[in-house]
Amino acid sequence: MAAHPEFAETKTKVMKIISFWDPMKVQPGKPHGAPEDEYEPEAARIAAYILKHKEPGSSLTLQSLKEEIERLWQLMYGESCPNSLEIAQNILQQFP
């Protein structure tokens, strides 16, 4: 199955937003911080979710995106994402 044509751009935008909020406090891309692409796996999963829910017949809402971010953080880290609401709000501003 071919990747969605907007996937790479969507993932990059999402990764910038997550890195800005840095919910795990790892300082991606900064001296003595984590690698710049630290949040790439999370960004890829969120980008796929966004693209799936932007399709006709689906809906991407603030609540559903926040819940997906929370679900993902629980799955990957075993804890909640402290900035899930802010991250979801910023993402929706990028993808109206």
pLDDT for residue 56: 76
Instruction: Write the CA distances from 81 to 17, 45, 56, 93, integer angstroms.
Output: 14, 15, 29, 19
Query: What are the tens digits of pLDDT across the range 2-38?
Result: 578 899 999 999 999 999 999 999 999 999 999 999 9
Q: What is the pLDDT of residue 55?
A: 76
The pTM score is 0.89
Residue 48 has pLDDT above 50, yes or no: yes
Distance, CA of 84 to CA of 41 (rounded, Å): 16
DSSP per-residue letters across 8-59: HHHHHHHHHHHHHH-TT---TTSTTS--TTTTHHHHHHHHHHHHHHTSTT--
Query: How buried is residue 21: exposed, middle or buried, by Cβ count under 10 Å (0-12/13-18/19+)?
Result: middle
Band the pLDDT of 65: cuts 50, 70, 90: very high
User: In the structure, what pLDDT confidence band is assigned to residue 1 with cuts at 50, 70 and 90?
Assistant: very low
